[in-house]
C-alpha cells in the first residue's frame, strides 16, 4: 500500500471534543460525532485513553482520533454501525490499525497509509496502543454525485470502496495533494470556512479525486475507469454553451459548471468530441454568427462587426479567419448575398 503523507499538520489546532480515560464518556461523545459504536479496551482498562477532535468548513470535516498510549499495552477495538450518510477517508499517523469488514476484507494500515469507509459497510477497527489517525469526512450525496460524473451517468450511484487504498502510487500522490490542501484550509484557518465558493469548489474537487484515486466499487455498473472524466461533464458544458453562447465563458467557468477540473474537462472534450471546451464554444458562436449574417443580408439589420461583437469575437480579423475556415468565404460575403 502506497504511503500518502508524512506530515499531517498540527492536529492540536482541531477543536477537542473528548480527551478522557473513561470508556463510557468516550463512547457517548464519539458515537454522537460518528455513528453509534461498540468500544472495548483489550487489556487493563486502567490503561485506556482516548482523544478526539474535529474542525472543518461546509462540506468537509477533518478529525483527529487516537486510543491508548504507545508506552502501555492496552489495545482498543471499535465496532461502529454503518456510517449511513457520509464517507470517511482515514489516514494513519502513528501506530497501526487493522480494519476488518466481516466476510469481505481485512486490511492492516500503517503510518502514511489510508483506507476508505463507505456508508454501507459494516466494519471493526483494531487499534494498536497509541495509534492515531486523521480522517476526512464527505457527505454520501457529494461522493455519489462525483461517482456518477466519473461513470458518465446522470443519476447518483451507490458508491462502495475497497479497503486496499489508492489504485496506484500516482493516484496515492494525487490524493495526498488534495488531502494536504484540505488540511491547510482547516488547520491553517484558510478562507474555505467563510467563502462559500471556495468551500464548494474544494469539496467537489475532493470528492471527484476520491472516486478517481481510490478503489471504487459499484453494483451493476462497469466503471472502466481510465482517469478521464466521462461524458456527463461534457453534456453539461454543451447544454450551457448552447443556452448562453453569447456570455463571456472561460475554461475555469465551464469546468466549475461541469463540476470537474479544467484539465479533466479538456481531456473529456478531446476524448468524446475531438475538440476543446473553448473550441466547441467557438463553433457554436460561429454558427450563431452565420445565422445572424444571413438574416442581416436580407434586411440590413446588422454589420459584420455588430454580429462579431454580439457573439463574443472582439478581434474582427480573427473572427474573419475563423469564419473563412468554417464556411469557405469571408463574413462580408454572407452579408452581401
Q: Is 90 exceeded by the pLDDT of residue 227? A: no
* CA pair distance 57, 185, nearest whole angstrom: 8
**Overall average pLDDT of the 61-84 stretch:** 93
Residues of the chain with CATH 1.10.10.60: 228-337
Alpha-carbon distance 257 to 175, whole Å? 23
Q: CA 246 to CA 309: how far, in whole Å?
A: 9
Q: How far apart are CA 81 and CA 268, in angstroms?
A: 39
Confidence of residue 96 (pLDDT cuts 50, 70, 90): very high
- Domain at 11-218, CATH class: mainly beta
Answer yes or no: are the C-beta atoms of 335 and 293 closer than 8 Å: yes
CATH 2.60.120.10 boundaries in the chain: 11-218
The per-residue pLDDT for range 111-128, each reduced to its tens digit, is 989 999 999 888 999 999
pLDDT of the residue at 219: 58
Class of the CATH domain delimited by 228-337? mainly alpha
Mean pLDDT for all residues in the chain? 86
Provide mean pLDDT across the span 12-32.
91
* Contact indicator for 8, 134 with CB cutoff of 8 Å: yes
More confident residue, 259 or 274: 274
User: Any idea what DSSP says for residue 85?
Assistant: S
Residue 226 has pLDDT above 80, yes or no: no
Most confident of 1-10, 181-190, 298-307: 181-190
Which pLDDT value is given to residue 189? Answer: 78
Residues listed for the chain:
337
Lowest mean pLDDT among 131-145, 148-162, 241-255: 148-162
d(CA 177, CA 10) in angstroms, rounded, equals 17
Amino acid at each position: 500500500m502506497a504511503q500518502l503523507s508524512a506530515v499531517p499538520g498540527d492536529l492540536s489546532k482541531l477543536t477537542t471534543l473528548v480527551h478522557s480515560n473513561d470508556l463510557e464518556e468516550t463512547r457517548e461523545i464519539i458515537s454522537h460525532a460518528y455513528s453509534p459504536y461498540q468500544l472495548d479496551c483489550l487489556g487493563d482498562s486502567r490503561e485506556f485513553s482516548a482523544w478526539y477532535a474535529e474542525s472543518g468548513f461546509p462540506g468537509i470535516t477533518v478529525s483527529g482520533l487516537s486510543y491508548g498510549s504507545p508506552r502501555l499495552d492496552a489495545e482498543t477495538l471499535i465496532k461502529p454501525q454503518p456510517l449511513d450518510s457520509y464517507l470517511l477517508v482515514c489516514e494513519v499517523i502513528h501506530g497501526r490499525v487493522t480494519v476488518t469488514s466481516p466476510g469481505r476484507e481485512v486490511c492492516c494500515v500503517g503510518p502514511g497509509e489510508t483506507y476508505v469507509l463507505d456508508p454501507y459497510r459494516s466494519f471493526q477497527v483494531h487499534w494498536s496502543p497509541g495509534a492515531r489517525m486523521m480522517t476526512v469526512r464527505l457527505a454520501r450525496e457529494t461522493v455519489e454525485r462525483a461517482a456518477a460524473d466519473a461513470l458518465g451517468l446522470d443519476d447518483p450511484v451507490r458508491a462502495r470502496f475497497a479497503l486496499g487504498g489508492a489504485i496506484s502510487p500516482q493516484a496515492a500522490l494525487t490524493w495526498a495533494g488534495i488531502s494536504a490542501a484540505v488540511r491547510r484550509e482547516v488547520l491553517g484557518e484558510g478562507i474555505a470556512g467563510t467563502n462559500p465558493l471556495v468551500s464548494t469548489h474544494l469539496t467537489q474537487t475532493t470528492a471527484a479525486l476520491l472516486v478517481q484515486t481510490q478503489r471504487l466499487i459499484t453494483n451493476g455498473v462497469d466503471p472502466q475507469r481510465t482517469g478521464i472524466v466521462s461524458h456527463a461533464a461534457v453534456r453539461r458544458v454543451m447544454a450551457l454553451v448552447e443556452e448562453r453562447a453569447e456570455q463571456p465563458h472561460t475554461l475555469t467557468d465551464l469546468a466549475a459548471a461541469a463540476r470537474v477540473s479544467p484539465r479533466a474537462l479538456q481531456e473529456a472534450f478531446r476524448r468524446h468530441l475531438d475538440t476543446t471546451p473553448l473550441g466547441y464554444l467557438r463553433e457554436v458562436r460561429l454558427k450563431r454568427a452565420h445565422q445572424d449574417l444571413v438574416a442581416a443580408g436580407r434586411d440590413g439589420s446588422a454589420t459584420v462587426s455588430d454580429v462579431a461583437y454580439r457573439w463574443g469575437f472582439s478581434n474582427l480579423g480573427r473572427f474573419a479567419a475563423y469564419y473563412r475556415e468554417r464556411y469557405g468565404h469571408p463574413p462580408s460575403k454572407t452579408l452581401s448575398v
